[in-house]
Amino acid sequence: MRAVLMAGGSGTRLRPLTCDLPKPMVPVLNRPIAEHIINLLKRNQINEVIATLHYLPDVMRDYFQDGSDFGVQMTYAVEEDQPLGTAGCVKNVAELLDGTFLVISGDSITDFDLKAAVEFHKAHHSKATLILTRVPNPIEFGVVITDENYRIRRFLEKPSSSEIFSDTVNTGAYILEPEVLKYLPPNQETDFSKDLFPLLLEEGEPMYGYIAEGYWCDVGHLDAYREAQYDGLYRKVKLDFSYEERKPGIWIGQNTYIDPSAHIEAPVLIGSNCRIGARVQIDGGTVIGDNVTVGADANLKRPIIWNGAIIGEESHLRACVISRGTRVDRRAHVLEGAVVGPLSSVGEEAQVSPGVRVWPSKKVEPGAILNINLIWGHAAHRNLFGQRGVSGLANIDITPEFAVKLGAAYGSTLRPGSHVAVSRDQRTISRMVSRSLIAGLMSVGVNIQNLEATAIPVARSIVPTLSIAGGIHVRVHPDRPDHILIEFFDHKGINISKAREKKIEGAYFKEDFRRALIYEIGNVAYASQVLDTYGISFERHLNVEAVRHSSSKVVIDYVYAVSGAVLPQILGKFGCDAHVVRQCQPQPDRTHERRSRSPTQPVGACGGSGESQLWRPSLR
């Protein structure tokens, strides 16, 4: 009898574990899920396996090759152009299926008695037998209902709570006769549950459900992945272990050294060629791969550590997943549910918070506290603030969600009901970030004076006149056009002190945010006569009469900057002959006002034809 192993899944919900691995090759107890399935097939005298592949097919082919090392004969069918679905991939290998065959998913852990299922199939002269199991909560699965003779009468894919009519669900394992494949069109994406089985039911073909006893886990998400490991260690499912059981519940590979002072609680699996340092504490439920080094005084509470990882001294791992080749340095903490992708590093005394996912080849800097998924960019930094404020790649490091948290962190360091001025340059990205900052500030009960698109000297000079706690200015970084720069002012319009920066960083990394009640949410007001106020302040620093009698001619190139609305007005007051090149008039930011729009200048942007334009202000 032959089996079709469906192994083409990309495992989107298991990322970052599946960024460089197909889902069936993700390890459980240091063996790929697909290997556990092949061992199950062997135990049930099924030795010919056809694997259907799509995502990263070479990984599986290189591992199993012809299958001889695993006691089976392996054949591969790769879906080259597009995925064909669960049924389409089987239809694709129909010429290899000349008798009763088994279809089984390559991303589940189970110990079902497949021989009993095959006997049931033959005894009932079934054309298609679905292997079912009972689960406490069938909402995530396809529900199947059978009559008293186990003949299938109804299907329902992923029902709502009000639609549940049975606790027997489809496990993705089927015993089929080859003639049922004639109902499927060739080279088209089709699904067993959505396309083939409803059609067989409609045609009156004999279809039965075999309710299997035993363990079954669909490793569809990260929580299920961890649970499958723990269930394997605690013998809730029958799996083959790759290593010798040195003591009850403790499996250890070859050439592994464990310091005599290390304390290990069963059940634990430790791979080959590992080094476990002095006074290491390893709690039950821990899985350690091959070639792993664990430094002295490390504390491991049920982590899953893949091959080649390095765990530093005094580090703490809590029910997390540490992927292949990852380095966790001294005194670092990786907490419950966190996942660190392959070839990443977590610096000394850094912390990866619960549930956070770090994509492959990323770096968490020493001392950093990572509270959000690290997907884009290259590193998570310990400090938010640089020499000129907070900066990062636009819409990659500095995203709306980042800005909301930053605004909430800053606002949490101020008194409830404080006022903060927010300004920006004319760029669309700056508008987006400033609005996100405003949302975060409002959420902690801080009121906003929105200066909208304003030059940064104007914002600095206006802040002291408004009797407010401080200000924020958002602009494209003057030295890096793909970066955003967020600058913070105190009540005098001067950059905030390093001590204030540390307070904001502390609130951000610890997520120590104050939450305002609904009636305490901050308000937004729009400052008026901003340019007039700035002009008065500007005049205090000039010898106005000398300027008036100088008959000066000034050429100013604004490069479409927002400051183009400021100096022409001021210089015109003093009688200067100002020639402005590439000047920009900022658009108002109030959503309730109508905005004028020219064919060459989008709303909120400064464009034009790209050629220099001369403009002479009125001197009246």
Q: Tell me if 380 sits within 8 A of 368, measured CB to CB.
A: yes
| 481 CB neighbour count, 10 Å cutoff | 9
Domains of the chain: 2-218 (3.90.550.10), 245-380 (2.160.10.10), 385-527 (3.40.120.10), 542-615 (no CATH)
Closest CA to 407 of 356, 472, 476: 472
- Asked whether the predicted pLDDT for residue 614 surpasses 50, the reply is no
Q: Give, to the nearest 10 degrees, the angle between helix 33-43 and helix 57-64.
A: 50
Please give the torsion angle defined by the CA atoms of residues 319, 358, 331 and 370, in that order, rounded to the nearest 10 degrees. Answer: -110
- Residue 30 to residue 305: CA distance in whole angstroms: 9
Give the pLDDT band of residue 163 (cuts 50, 70, 90). low
- Asked whether the predicted pLDDT for residue 594 surpasses 80, the reply is no
Tell me, what's the pLDDT at 86? Answer: 85
Give the pLDDT band of residue 618 (cuts 50, 70, 90). very low
Closest CA to 144 of 221, 215, 210: 210
| 114 CB neighbour count, 10 Å cutoff | 24
Tell me, what's the pLDDT at 161? Answer: 54
Give the pLDDT band of residue 380 (cuts 50, 70, 90). low
Tell me, what's the pLDDT at 140? Answer: 64
Average pLDDT over residues 195-213: 89
Q: Which residues neighbour 387 within 8 Å (Cβ) at sequence distance 6 or greater?
A: none
Rank 77-86, 128-137, 252-261, 458-467 by mean pLDDT and report only the highest.
252-261
Tell me, what's the pLDDT at 556? Answer: 75
Tell me, what's the pLDDT at 121? Answer: 94
Tell me, what's the pLDDT at 114? Answer: 94
Average pLDDT, the chain: 85
- Residue 428 to residue 604: CA distance in whole angstroms: 6
Closest CA to 394 of 352, 424, 365: 424
- Residue 157 to residue 193: CA distance in whole angstroms: 8
- Asked whether the predicted pLDDT for residue 575 surpasses 90, the reply is no
Average pLDDT over residues 300-324: 96
Which tens digit of pLDDT belongs to each residue from 318-331?
Answer: 999 999 999 999 99
Give the pLDDT band of residue 304 (cuts 50, 70, 90). very high
Rank 278-292, 515-529, 584-598 by mean pLDDT and report only the highest.
278-292
Tell me, what's the pLDDT at 564? Answer: 59
CB environment 420-434: b (16+ within 10 A), e (fewer): bbbbbbbbebbbbbb
Which tens digit of pLDDT belongs to each residue from 31-86?
Answer: 999 999 999 999 999 999 999 998 899 999 999 999 999 999 999 988 767 778 88
Tell me, what's the pLDDT at 563? Answer: 60
Name residue 364's beta-bridge partners. 346, 380
Tell me, what's the pLDDT at 159? Answer: 52
Tell me, what's the pLDDT at 192? Answer: 87
Give the pLDDT band of residue 146 (cuts 50, 70, 90). confident
Residue 128, CA distances (Å) to 46, 118, 120, 204, 498 in order: 18, 11, 11, 12, 70
Name the maximum alpha-carbon separation found in the chain: 110
Average pLDDT over residues 338-363: 94
Higher pLDDT, 38 or 547: 38
Closest CA to 522 of 381, 366, 418: 418
Closest CA to 5 of 30, 39, 56: 39
- Asked whether the predicted pLDDT for residue 561 surpasses 70, the reply is no
- Asked whether the predicted pLDDT for residue 428 surpasses 90, the reply is yes
Give the pLDDT band of residue 617 (cuts 50, 70, 90). very low
Which tens digit of pLDDT belongs to each residue from 88-128?
Answer: 889 888 889 989 999 999 889 999 999 999 999 999 999 99
Tell me, what's the pLDDT at 376? Answer: 72
Tell me, what's the pLDDT at 295? Answer: 96
Closest CA to 34 of 14, 9, 13: 9
Q: Tell me if 470 sits within 8 A of 389, measured CB to CB.
A: no
- Asked whether the predicted pLDDT for residue 600 surpasses 60, the reply is no
Q: Which residues neighbour 542 within 8 Å (Cβ) at sequence distance 6 or greater?
A: 574
Which bin fits 560, alpha (ψ -120 to 50), beta or left (φ > 0)?
left
Tell me, what's the pLDDT at 358? Answer: 95
- Residue 423 to residue 604: CA distance in whole angstroms: 14
Average pLDDT over residues 309-316: 96
Average pLDDT over residues 289-306: 96
- Residue 211 to residue 201: CA distance in whole angstroms: 19
Pairing of strands 614-615, 577-581: antiparallel
Q: Which residue has the tokens 């990323």?
A: 362
Tell me, what's the pLDDT at 560? Answer: 62
Pairing of strands 2-6, 351-352: unpaired
Closest CA to 129 of 107, 109, 152, 153: 152
Name residue 2's beta-bridge partners. 48, 101
Q: Tell me if 111 sits within 8 A of 214, measured CB to CB.
A: yes
Give the pLDDT band of residue 373 (cuts 50, 70, 90). confident
Give the pLDDT band of residue 299 (cuts 50, 70, 90). very high
Rank 5-9, 56-60, 321-325, 606-610 by mean pLDDT and report only the highest.
321-325
Tell me, what's the pLDDT at 166? Answer: 60
One-letter amino acid of 276? I
Instruction: Identify the DSSP state of 237.
Output: S
- Residue 581 to residue 390: CA distance in whole angstroms: 31
| 133 CB neighbour count, 10 Å cutoff | 21
Instruction: Identify the DSSP state of 448.
Output: E
Q: Tell me if 437 sits within 8 A of 406, measured CB to CB.
A: yes
Residue 460, CA distances (Å) to 268, 279, 439, 457, 474 in order: 60, 56, 22, 5, 12
Cα angle: 379, vertex 384, 389; to 5 degrees: 125
**Could you give the residue ranges of the DSSP H alpha helices within 376-455?**
400-412, 428-443
Name residue 342's beta-bridge partners. none
Strand order, beta sheet including 333-334: 263-264, 281-282, 299-301, 316-318, 333-334, 351-352, 369-370
Closest CA to 473 of 541, 512, 421: 421
